[in-house]
Amino acid sequence: MKIYTDGSANPNPGPGGFGVIVLDNQEKFVYNLYRESSENTTNNREELKAILYALKNYGVTILDDEFIEIPIVYSDSAYAINTFNDWMWRWSKNNWIKADGAKAENLDIIQEYFDLWNQGFRIELRKVKGHANIPGNILADALASGKLITVEVNDL
C-alpha cells in the first residue's frame, strides 16, 4: 500500500486542510481519498495531521515473528518527515523542548503519533519532491487545498 499525504493553509496561517490518497503498490487502484479542513491552521500542522491520519487508519501493528507489509507514506514536507522520523525522539527525551530551547510546536499531534508508535503502530515515511508531477502527490495536494480536479486512471 502506498499513501500520499499533503497539508495546506492559504494564507499561512489561515483556512486549510489535509488530503490523503491511498493506493495499491502499483499505484493503479485507489482505495481511498480523504480530506479534512480547518478554519484556522498552518501548513505544517496540516502536514502532520495528514501523516497522523495515515498512521491511525492504515498503520499496522508489529506482531512477534510475523511478517506484515508496512504501508509507505509519502509526504513533500521535510518538516513533517524530520519531525516524525528524527526530531520527536530527541524532543521526547528533553521534555518536548527543541534544541533552541523552545517548546515543540504542534505538540498535540506529535505526541499522539509518538504514543501510537510506542503502542506498535507502524508506517514507513518517505520524502517525495513536491510539485514534481507525481500523480499521488498532485492529488493529495489538490485534496489538501480543496481544489476539485479530474484524474484519469491512466495518470496513476
Domain map of the chain by residue range? 2-155
pLDDT, residue 130, reads: 87
**Mean of pLDDT values over 43-47:** 98
pLDDT above 90 coverage of the chain, percent: 79
d(CA 62, CA 71): 12
pLDDT, residue 64, reads: 54
Q: At what angle do helices 43-58 and 107-118 cross, to 10 degrees?
A: 20
User: Positive or negative, the Cα torsion across 93, 102, 130, 41?
Assistant: positive
pLDDT, residue 48, reads: 98
**Mean of pLDDT values over 73-95:** 97
pLDDT, residue 28, reads: 87
- Indicate whether 4 pLDDT > 90: yes
**What is the chain's mean pLDDT, rounded?**
91
Buried b (16+ CB within 10 A) or exposed e, 22-36: bbeeeeeeeeeebbb
pLDDT, residue 69, reads: 83
Burial label, 120 (beta-carbon count in 10 A; 0-12, 13-18, 19+): exposed
pLDDT, residue 62, reads: 73
pLDDT, residue 23, reads: 95
- Whether the upstream peptide bond of residue 11 has omega within 30° of 0, thus cis, is yes
Q: In this predicted structure, which of 25-34, 82-91, 96-105, 113-122 has the lowest mean pLDDT?
A: 25-34
CATH (one of 3.40.630.30, 3.30.420.10, 3.30.360.10, 3.40.50.300) for 2-155: 3.30.420.10
Cα dist from 111 to 45, 131, 150, whole Å: 13, 29, 36
Q: In this predicted structure, which of 61-65, 81-85, 129-133, 145-149 has the lowest mean pLDDT?
A: 61-65
- Indicate whether 156 pLDDT > 70: no
Q: Single out the residue of 97, 1, 108 nearest to residue 52, CA to CA.
A: 108
Contact 36, 53 (CB under 8 A): yes
pLDDT above 70 coverage of the chain, percent: 91
